Amino acid sequence: MKEWISRRKVFCIVVVILLLVVFLWPISLGSRVPEDKDLVISWHQMDVIQPEDGAVESTLNAEVTTWRLETGTEDREAFQDLLEGYTIHRTWRTPFPANGLNGHSNGGYLFISWTEDEQFVHQVVTGFARLIMLDDHTYSLGYLDKHRSLDMKERTLAFLGHCPPLDES
């Protein structure tokens, strides 16, 4: 009986250690975005406009800017290097599909998308409030450091500010 309990304890400890390794192991964000694909990047800026005198409700001002980074260009390679500088980690929600990042935005959302085999569209979505979505699974940007997300927001928007946006025609 004692051997069975001892084996069970060892098995449980090994399983817990394996789960911790899987969930705490860092994943490079750049490794999840293929280098050989064109990227379409959209920044959805959301500003809450305070109500005017006599008005009851605030309004939401949404502005969308879109860029296209083609494979083989300097901008595309520099953006891939920027993504390589960030790591993501699995969370307890990662195994389960999510519908979005509701309420996890820091002034807007960044969408990075690419097409694979001319039929599958993949995307990375972040609101720069520590959570990031790859396709429909939620990850954490950094462990508990919300400043890492804000650093990514500032660096990404500064980088995209030097790239010409697509014409909205």
- Please report the pLDDT score of residue 148 as a whole number: 76
Report d(CA 166, CA 159) in Å as an integer: 15
The answer on pLDDT for 131 being more than 60 is yes
Evaluate whether 104 touches 151 at the Cβ level (below 8 Å).
Answer: no
- Nearest CA to 89 out of 126, 132, 125, 127 is that of 132
Token couple for 15:
């399983």
- Please report the pLDDT score of residue 137 as a whole number: 87
CA 12 to chain centroid, in Å, comes to: 33
Higher pLDDT, 145 or 6: 6
Segment 45-89, tens digit of pLDDT? 876 666 677 666 666 667 888 999 999 999 999 999 999 988 888
Distances (CA, A) of 1 to 9, 14, 48: 13, 20, 65
Distances (CA, A) of 133 to 9, 48, 82, 91: 36, 24, 17, 11
